[in-house]
Amino acid sequence: MTSFNKAASRPYRVLLATFVSWKLFLLALSLGAYLAGDAYDTSAALAVQPHDDVIDHGSNSGPQHPGLAYHVVGLITRLASWDAIYFTSIARRGYRIEQEWAFGAGLPGVVRGLLGALEYVGILSKLDPSSHGALRETLAALFVTNTSHIFSVFFFYHLTITLWPNRPFFALTSSVLHIFSPAGLFLSAPYAESCFAALAFAGWLLLARSCRSEDNALLRDTYIVLAGVVFGLATVFRSNGVLNGIPFAWEMVRLLPRLGHRPVDTMRRLLALGVGGVCVALGSVVPQAVAWMRFCSDGVGDVRPWCKAYLPSIYAFVQKYYWGVGFLQYWRLPNLPLFLLAAPMITIMLRSATNYLTQPQTFVSSKPAESARLLRLIQSTAAAQAMLAVLAVTNYHVQIITRISSGYPLWYWWVAEQLSNKKSLGHVIIVFMIMYASIQGVLFASFLPPA
């Protein structure tokens, strides 16, 4: 018990040490996969390296006596597998082909901004995007994603300690679980998951602070609007961020009957919630509007089919047309192994959400009024998580649930609760998380599914 108290008394040191150790472990797995043999696909090598000097790092064919730089670039190339190719290519030269609009503009935008700033101050020289590969963009993306991941860990710790101020070890345990997320290498590679998690946890933290600021209406409403802005930014990174609009809608529905009793205060709260909810939606609407202006606005010639839709959305069209995403589109016998692979995470998410929705009073103890507000917030996280799990089964490529679940706080709390109650299920889940992340890391670095 003394060691537990000691760890809880210096959470940032423990979290940072755990984070670095886990990242080094995943990097070692990636290095092992690189040294073990050829990658299944060489697309990453073609995308990352300069076009006039491509060395196939997807295979082991290269110089007879390669130096350290060769192997470093080879390892970086392995981390740019699968969808990372799209993110880094978009960061290098913008959106060029229609199918690229399936990938959120958040990560490419941040990478371009970072490199642009380094070019502006003279640290990097400006290059023509057509004359070089995406090596710089990949390095910048790796910096952004790993930095975002450690920030997401700290934001998550603050969120948990805000909800449960008397349970520091519970907050620490929950945050460590986020580090060990089965998303694994996807939180290190040039993917949007770690940035999304950081922004999502920051948004929930702001909402939690609004619940703790009921005595100061201005501060409370400011937190609500800021949470909407942050959730909107998260939605720019990943479209499922729109589910974070649930707490705004939930609270608005609850407050509407009070308009006749406390009209001024209720109207002000509804206004803050409405502005926050609109900000969440804008994270999805603005990129669609940009695409519409590019592809549909002139109305000349053959416009794409989605331009004529009642609600024109390039994202929905591209996901269905190029990636086969849609209601029950993935329910085919060859995909059964992927459903089985996703089953543990789906089960964890649905079971934890059900527990928090049906028995919320067992998880929060505070002053009655404050406790009610916190309960509604926690139930909102449960509703968002449950909806994501259902959508993963019915609409998405189901296997991605193991990585997109990383940005949803509730299931981490539930697993931490199992551990604090000394239930064997908690230990089983931890074994699953670490094993899945480890195996998936090797497969990812070898350009092998699932991804």
Evaluate whether 178 touches 398 at the Cβ level (below 8 Å). no
328 band by pLDDT with thresholds 50, 70 and 90: very high
Q: What is the pLDDT of residues 379-422, one digit of tens each?
A: 999 999 999 999 999 999 999 999 999 999 999 999 999 999 88
Q: What is the pLDDT of residue 2?
A: 60
Q: What is the pLDDT of residue 153?
A: 99
Reference 53, options 137, 126, 133, 152; nearest CA is 133
* Tokens 């929060």, located at residue: 364
Give the global pTM. Answer: 0.93
Q: How many CB atoms lie within 10 A of CB 39?
A: 23
Q: Above 90 in pLDDT, residue 215? A: no
Q: What is the pLDDT of residues 38-73, one digit of tens each?
A: 777 777 777 787 654 545 444 444 555 567 888 898
Q: Could you tell me the CA-to-CA distances from 261 to 68, 250, 256, 264, 265 in Å, in that order?
A: 72, 19, 10, 9, 10
Structure-token pair, residue 63: 């110089």
Distance, CA of 163 to CA of 371 (rounded, Å): 9
Q: Could you tell me the end-to-end alpha-carbon distance of the chain, in angstroms, rounded to an integer? A: 40
Between 424-445 and 410-420, two packed helices, what is the crossing angle to 10 degrees?
Answer: 130
Q: What is the pLDDT of residues 268-308, one digit of tens each?
A: 999 999 999 999 999 999 999 999 998 887 765 678 889 98
Percent of the chain with pLDDT over 90: 70
Structure-token pair, residue 357: 């929705």
Q: What is the pLDDT of residue 299?
A: 61
Structural Rg of the chain based on CA atoms: 23
Q: What is the pLDDT of residue 261?
A: 76
Q: Indicate the range of 19-23, 25-29, 61-65, 249-253 predicted with least confidence.
A: 61-65
Q: What is the pLDDT of residues 220-244, one digit of tens each?
A: 999 999 999 999 999 999 999 999 9
Distance, CA of 405 to CA of 387 (rounded, Å): 11
Cβ partners under 8 Å of residue 359, min gap 6: none
Torsion sign across C-alpha atoms 197, 201, 202, 204: positive
Domain ranges of the chain: 2-445
Q: Indicate the range of 9-18, 67-76, 328-337, 357-366 predicted with least confidence.
A: 357-366
Structure-token pair, residue 353: 């959400």
Q: Above 70 in pLDDT, residue 82? A: yes
